[in-house]
Amino acid sequence: MFIAQAIRDDFPIFKRKVNGYPLIYFDNAATTQKPRQVIDAEQDFYENHNANVHRAVHTLSQEATELHEGARETIGKFIGAKEPAEVVFVRGTTEAINLVAYSWGLRNLKAGDEVLISLMEHHSNIVPWEIISRLTGFTIKYANVNSDGTLDYKDFEGKFTKNTKLACLSQVSNVSGVINDVKRVAKVAHEHGALMLVDGAQSVPHMSIDVRDLDADFLAFSGHKMLGPTGIGVLYGKKALLEKMAPFEGGGEMIKEVSYSPQSEGCGISWNAPPWKFEAGTPNIAGGVGLAAAIKYLQRLGMADVFQHEKELTEYAVKKLQNCCTKLALYGTTNPALKCGIIPFGVEGLSSHDVALFLDNYGIMVRSGFHCAQPLHQIFKLQSSARASFYIYNTKEEIDRFIEVLKEMEQF
């Protein structure tokens, strides 16, 4: 088990103060801080290897290509992909889901078909399907969420029919931290001949993931939520599916051949093989290098220990929060066995933004708003919530300070 206090030295940002107080960063579900190892990896690429990939025979291009494809291999092994070709580089979870919606959904879903989505999803796993449904006419079914924020499995699984073509589910809710049994749902989906898309934005950074064990057809996640840079993410897709899908964007890199024919007065086009046919244009090479460095950092810590550390912090924080203030409310389940390190809360008489601004005065960073998940807030009967979320560098001492400031807030 690693010691969070010891690894904080790897993160330059924790040397600064905010409003005169040591920085306490509890907004990790939005994005995580970056260790020196990730920063150095990106800097080394730009200082020593910067060139475009797959496009030249000179030394720098060959080095850049090796780093780029090496990052793909590292990421693939991290999530249990069968081969690197199942790893598509994208900007983040949002683009990954949009890629599936446009490359697969737009061409495979029609009137009479159904897509099944839970009501706890992030907007990025709702809005693309709503857009595509208005273009092709398929039906979206929404599965219920219980009042404590847990998934209503009976309702979800009961909504599958012979017309269901795709099920979409987040492995971990970005609002409540609830962990969903996506392996169970994938099994039911496949029994009905449907595909399974997993939003792994809040799970891949925090627990061991094996896409083959889950039997996920698609998995989407973002680098910046797991110590990596912004602007880089991954869509995992089973190779057989990716081979049948059309490209999401057109341009360089994603084609095998473009040939002009005077007779037809047009160009014949053949696509590159996956994953490159989904990666039009110059990729975020440095971002991929940074993400690979982040994964290696997490692997050195051990994902089992990362998960256990967060579970301990969550259990500790929940017990403290339940007894600290009469006007403080916790939303969703408080059972640490059912969730990751995310705790939504509110203070009676204050908006979530009031709470966040008060905490910010003391150098404590939390998220406020509806966290791009309005349907779940409607289930909780809330306009918004404050959210504390933990990661590898957070400590029980920081939680104690958080509690002290909440007590001051209540007195104020």
Instruction: List Cα–Cα distances, 352 to 235, 330, 366, 398, in angstroms.
Output: 33, 12, 10, 20
Structure confidence at residue 411 (pLDDT): 84
The yes-or-no answer on residue 340 being catalytic is: no
The distance of Cα 45 from the centroid of its chain, to the nearest Å, equals 25
Structure confidence at residue 355 (pLDDT): 97
Helices 59-79, 285-301: crossing angle, 10 deg rounding: 40
Instruction: Report helix, strand and coil shares of the chain as percent, to nearest 5.
Output: 45, 20, 35
Tokens of 254: 């994603």
Q: Which of 3.40.109.10, 3.40.50.720, 3.30.360.10, 3.40.640.10 would CATH assign to domain 39-299?
A: 3.40.640.10
Q: Which helix (H) or strand (E) holds 301?
A: helix 285-301
Structure confidence at residue 192 (pLDDT): 98
Interatomic CA distance for residues 286 and 38, integer angstroms: 10
Q: Which of 168, 267, 340, 372 is catalytic?
A: 372
pLDDT per residue over 72-89, tens digit each? 999 999 999 999 999 999
What number is the average pLDDT over the span 16-35?
A: 98
pLDDT per residue over 365-391, tens digit each? 999 999 999 999 999 999 999 999 999
Structure confidence at residue 182 (pLDDT): 98
Omega before 275 cis (within 30°)?
yes
What number is the average pLDDT over the span 317-340?
A: 94
Structure confidence at residue 270 (pLDDT): 81
Q: Which of 3.30.465.10, 3.90.1720.10, 3.10.105.10, 3.90.1150.10 would CATH assign to domain 4-26+302-405?
A: 3.90.1150.10
pLDDT per residue over 106-147, tens digit each? 999 999 999 999 999 999 999 999 999 999 999 999 999 999
What number is the average pLDDT over the span 93-108?
A: 98
Domain parsing of the chain, residue ranges: 4-26+302-405, 39-299
Structure confidence at residue 104 (pLDDT): 98
Say whether pLDDT at 267 is over 90: no
% of the chain exceeding 90 in pLDDT: 91
Structure confidence at residue 266 (pLDDT): 79
